[in-house]
Structure 1
């Protein structure tokens, strides 16, 4: 008796297909294409159009109304960098962003490890308080923070921005980091301690290498939030040589006019570091967010 040989990777027959009939080709669902790609395309256009116009304003000559930046000019970049003092603003933003990133990551690592590994009275309440702080707008804390920084002689100092941004980044960073630490099995750490490691050495040798996606995710969020923060820099800094990028760019807008070319050029330069950082770390960032969001 002849035996029919069915291909190993043949697609299953649709419901209602008679026995023994060859399965037909799989057809793409047009409704699914519309439901998936049309909203994504609209969202992509809505997101990219402002960036396109920013690039157009930055590259086309002053007074031009062409929707295409031609002829291309870099006069706006020269104006921003040399005449407005953008180089100083850029340096100040880098200093504040890197320091806030380091402090936020180190403190969040210690706090997240404590919340994930130790059980103590008030742990649940402490987590709730951390979550509730995310509902407090930063504008409500301006007067208390200004009073504190004035007493500490930190007004017009970049350290005021570092401290304020670090404090506001910490609650969410600690919660995320506790999820990352919880994803690392404690049995691995115990095995290292059984082999003779102290708890601190076991943490650095076993746990810390596995927290790299979490550290990158927390650090990137802290850096981006600090880089884009306008309110604190506007309230705590009044000396132009200590301005950061958001405050410095706001001075291109006058009372009766605005230099849109210089403003767009400054926005392009401000966005480039962020885009480059995300292009490098995006695979770690996606893995870190997913790991820290479901554990804890």
Structure 2
């Protein structure tokens, strides 16, 4: 019995081996850095420099917007709202904001609906000129909008749509559609066609199968396409300047241009107008950033 106990003691090892075995290695806690991973400062330093170059202009604009006229302080204190009150009430920025919102929302809806129909056709149907049509969509992205101003102006003039927000909405939608159709087509290709076929077997029509099966899966892609259409139409200056000559129909980019005089510039009012123009875009991206990143990921991965 004594020999058996001497032989089997410790952690189930023979007595001699258990006595001579080295102590277990200490457990290293915490995250171990890989040999291929660079030091943290090599990651955060470039990101910090980029962040400074990105945020300093915004801070400078905000500083001029809330700083009293004539002040040279680099700190936004004391703060004033006189510049915002001036551009919102005296410079008709309330009307410009409303017009820009109408153009942005209508362009978003029109672009998303038409791109959804076109993208589904490219993703699910085969026809003879499909590759040629895709090539035409890609090549249209190389055409600057300035080259199309004269023909578009003549078209809208014949349609009696000059000085109408509808002309800007149509022009913005047309220039957003090629890229939007290509993106939506890529999103739909990532949805397996077998899901639709299963719905067809259950008695659904093509439209009902698309609405019930495919459309819910396209939400990130639709949000990505719609957000780009809204931001582009909100910030675009050229079409609104050419097609809208009456002040009550102008948008925010054109309104900002009216704050720049021939001999002087009201920097406070201009900065306040810039803050007003930037706030909706920031709010939109703050709420949809999760869906936007998911949409980019879905479009980048081949299904």
Normalising by structure 2, we get a TM-score of 0.89
Displacement of 1:293? 3.0
Q: Secondary structure at the match of 1:218?
A: helix
Which residue number in structure 2 is paired with residue 17 of structure 1?
none
CA–CA distance in structure 1, aligned partners of residues 150 and 41 of structure 2: 51
Contact 1:179 1:294 in 2 (8 A): no
Which residue number in structure 1 is paired with residue 120 of structure 2?
113
Of 242, 250, 255, 2:249 maps to 242
The answer on 1:294 being equivalent to 2:296 is no
Q: Which runs of 4+ in 1 moved over 6 A?
A: none
Q: Cα RMSD (Å) of the superposition?
A: 2.0
1:39-63 deviation line (CA, Å, top 9, x unaligned): 1111111000011011100101011
> Counterparts of 1:223-234 in structure 2 under 5 Å?
223-234=230-241
Displacement of 1:177? 0.3
Of 71, 77, 82, 2:78 maps to 71
Which residue number in structure 2 is paired with residue 7 of structure 1?
none
Comparing 278-287 and 139-148, the one that deviates more: 139-148
Q: Secondary structure at the match of 2:75?
A: coil
**Unaligned stretches of 5+ in structure 1?**
5-19
Displacement of 1:28? 4.8
CA–CA distance in structure 1, aligned partners of residues 302 and 163 of structure 2: 41
Aligned residue pairs total 283
Q: Secondary structure at the match of 1:143?
A: helix
CA–CA distance in structure 1, aligned partners of residues 11 and 156 of structure 2: 86
Which residue number in structure 2 is paired with residue 211 of structure 1?
218
Displacement of 1:225? 0.3
Normalising by structure 1, we get a TM-score of 0.91
Of 97, 109, 130, 1:102 maps to 109
**Unaligned stretches of 5+ in structure 2?**
1-7, 13-23
Name which one, 1 or 2, has greater alpha-carbon Rg: 2
Which residue number in structure 2 is paired with residue 133 of structure 1?
140
Displacement of 1:34? 3.0
Contact 1:157 1:242 in 2 (8 A): yes
